[in-house]
Amino acid sequence: MTLPNLNLYTRFFLLFTFTTILLVMLVVLGCFALSEEEAQKIVEDRNETLHEMMAKLVSGPIDIEYLKIEAKSNRVAIQIHRGNEVWKTGESLPEPSELMENAIPLGKLFFSKVGSKYFIFTSSNETTIAVTSQIANLIIYPNWLVFWPWLGVLCVLVVSYKMLNAQLSPIKSAIDSATHISRGNLKYRIVRHPRNDLGKLTHGLNKMAENLEELFASKNELLLSVSHELRSPMARMKVLLALLSKDETVSKLNREINKMDDIVEQLLESERLRDSQKLLNLETYFFPNVLMDIIGSFDNAENISLEGSIPEITIDIDIGRFKFLIRNLIENALKHSDTASPVLIRCRREQAKLFIVVRDFGSGIDANFLSKIFEPFSQSDDINNRGNQGIGLGLFLCKRIALAHNGALTVKSESGKGSEFTFWLPVTSLD
């Protein structure tokens, strides 16, 4: 027999329906459940009343029709033994001798358990009347088993949770996939696909990642090919310009060619950094020496101010790319600061991380542009009015370098109050 392929809504509806029904039944049983001791106490408290009712039924000749009416109205089963005669209102009950084996006297009555059923009975003048109740047998349990309905509630909740989690686990896989893709990991794939509507979602995300990977691979190949091809004519242009007499026009052409060369180099570097730390040439350096060397390389170093002390630790870095990152942050801060306002640098170590903060008090970054600041070729000014402000690849490369060092680069800015860039990288040394 093949089960129908139910959609997600139907699966949830059936799961919630069955769970609710089971929980209601178990909670009702749990509320009314009695232990054997509690049942005996009830019988003992009502001993006189129950004995009087039972004695009345056997006080004279037995009227089986009246007996059945009484049994039905009280929702019990009754059986009477008198000599060799037996009257019963339903299925046969145990013999008096069997009832007497485990009987517990409770006043004028006896409380007995045979198998899994409970009985009360009394005997006099060779007449024995035994009574049992289906409801009582449903709610009375041995003392150690009286809490089983609540254990059942817990089991139902656990099983329902696991079933619901199994149905919804693809959503977590989809979130993980979207997170990896948004971070640029286009090789991430969802391995398990459910046999429900969410399976279409997980398969779709895998297909989307494959298409994006192919698209970016084609784009990267084109970009690298164009970048490499541009270097040859630019090199020939430099040689030809070197043969010309020096004048203002030649100087301007040289500057523009150098700028184009920088653009090509940064494009190539951005593609190389896609392989993250695989291309890093990591070596160990004493951090204070590296930082002071970077600051000292600026002509206007007097506008750069160090706040606090520099952690005296060693760091594993690609020195060239590390210096590029810090220099770029400082250059941007100096570029957007007034000559009178300093650029502040703060360094601190927190457990296994080294934080480097570069703060300026310039015009700040527009809130609408802040989310795109690390994208390639992103600039807040119009593309036709860049002047000497760069080409919009510097911060993009800085972000790539930070990620390649297993770190991060973030920014906070407020218009009119300046910007603050924070770069952190892991520190493995125990200095």
Higher-pLDDT residue of 272, 353? 353
For tokens 């084609």, the residue is 218
Residue 254 Cα distances to 114, 177, 242, angstroms: 108, 47, 9
Q: Determine if the pTM surpasses 0.95.
A: no
Tell me which range, 56-70, 139-153, 391-405, is most confidently predicted by mean pLDDT.
Answer: 56-70
How far, in Å, are 256, 259, 363, 425 from residue 387 at the CA level? 11, 12, 18, 33
Question: What is the percent of the chain with per-residue pLDDT over 70, rounded to a whole number?
Answer: 87
304 backbone dihedrals φ, ψ, rounded to 5°: -105, 125
2: exposed, middle or buried (C-beta count within 10 Å: 0-12, 13-18, 19+)? Answer: exposed
User: Which of 52, 49, 83, 53 minimizes the C-alpha distance to 71?
Assistant: 53
Q: Answer yes or no: is pLDDT of 131 > 90.
A: yes
* Residues whose CB falls within 8 Å of the CB of residue 98, separated by 6 or more in sequence, listed in order: 114
Which is it for strands 408-414 and 418-426: parallel, antiparallel or unpaired? Answer: antiparallel
The class of domain 34-146 in CATH terms is alpha beta
Give the pLDDT confidence of 107-124 residue by residue, as tens digits: 889 999 998 899 999 987
Percent of the chain predicted with pLDDT > 90: 20
DSSP secondary structure string for all residues of 353-419 = EEEEEEE--SS---HHHHTTTTSTT--SS-GGG-TTS--S-HHHHHHHHHHHTT-EEEEEEETTTEE
Strands (E) located in 96-177: 104-106, 109-114, 117-124, 127-132, 140-141
Contact yes or no for 305/345 (Cβ under 8 A): yes
- As a residue count, the chain comes to 431
- Pair 177, 205: CB distance under 8 Å: yes
- Domain borders along the chain are 34-146, 223-275, 280-426
User: Looking at 48-52, 130-134, 216-220, 353-357, which range is the least confident one?
Assistant: 216-220
pLDDT number for residue 120? 92
- The Cα–Cα gap between 36 and 41 comes to 9
> Could you tell me the CATH superfamily of domain 280-426?
Histidine kinase-like ATPase, C-terminal domain (3.30.565.10)
Identify the residue with better confidence: 280 or 163. 163
Q: Which helix (H) or strand (E) holds 420?
A: strand 418-426
Pairing between β-strand 418-426 and β-strand 353-359 as defined by DSSP bridges = antiparallel
Residue whose token pair is 């990288």: 425
Strands 343-350, 304-307: pairing kind: parallel
- The residue with tokens 């449903």 is 138
Lowest mean pLDDT among 58-67, 248-257, 262-271, 317-326: 262-271
